Amino acid sequence: MAVNNVNIQAFNCEINDENRRHIEDKMDNLERLWPKVDEAQIRVTEVRGRYVTEITLISGGLITRGEERSGNLRSSFDTALNRLEQQLRRHKERELSRRNRRETNGEGNAPVIDSNLAPTGVRNGAGGGTDDDDEDDDNVVRTKRFALKPMAPEEAVLQMDLLGHNFFVFRDAETNQVSVVYKRQSGGYGLIEPIAD
């Protein structure tokens, strides 16, 4: 198998042998697009008659995610994998573009980060995992815990894009402070840094 470790989990549902083979075959085919996957986690949950498929790839410290909801398990998986593949293609294109700019200009162009503006229209979350947006009240409906890997803001932007989120919480490798990068509605990225009281 192309992926060293594939972990398939089912919650509130069963994955029959045919669907398991389908998932494994599709993950094998992923090697053509992204040969450096260390681990894949596939989580299928049935919620009120709909299947929620979350696919998380871990590759050299980067985490990429695709998620989909559908009335059919196979359709849910295929669409989630398609979204994940689109993110990987965009990442490869960006990396090629950056590499070409470095070779042409002799310098690298990192994402432009604006640290003076607050996020607008922020949804989704940090790290890995998902948020439940079904509730529209002030109650906390889900708690997420994750390790904060030290990284540069540019790496946090890359990680956020690979996860398909609008913001990403990380520990700044230089200052060791917890910070947030986010997508700005007007384009570009923002950086929120804490200050001492």
- Quick check: helix, strand or coil at residue 125? coil
Residues 128 and 160 in one domain: yes
Cα distances (angstroms) measured from residue 79 to each of 53, 74, 122, 139, 162: 9, 9, 24, 31, 16
- 165 falls within a domain: yes
Task: Please say which residue of 81, 105, 129 terminates a domain.
Answer: 105
Residues 154 and 84 in one domain: no
- 187 falls within a domain: yes
Residues 84 and 140 in one domain: no
Residues 33 and 99 in one domain: yes
Residues 129 and 101 in one domain: no
Q: Which domain holds residue 82?
A: 5-105
Q: 132 or 24: whose pLDDT is higher?
A: 24
**pLDDT for the residue 106:** 59
**Would you say residue 80 has pLDDT above 50?**
yes
CATH number of the domain residue 53 falls in:
3.30.160.100
Stretch 70-97: mean pLDDT? 88
| Domain count of the fold of the chain | 2
Residues 29 and 50 in one domain: yes
| β-sheet bridge partners, residue 192 | 180
Residues 29 and 91 in one domain: yes
**pLDDT for the residue 100:** 79
What is the per-residue pLDDT across 36-62, written as a single tens digit (0 to 9) for each? 788 889 999 999 899 999 999 888 777
Task: Please say which residue of 105, 121, 146 terminates a domain.
Answer: 105
Residue identified by tokens 């992923």 is 30
Tokens of 173: 């490798």
The number of beta carbons lying within 10 Å of the beta carbon of residue 126 is 22
Tokens of 69: 């909801």
- 175 falls within a domain: yes
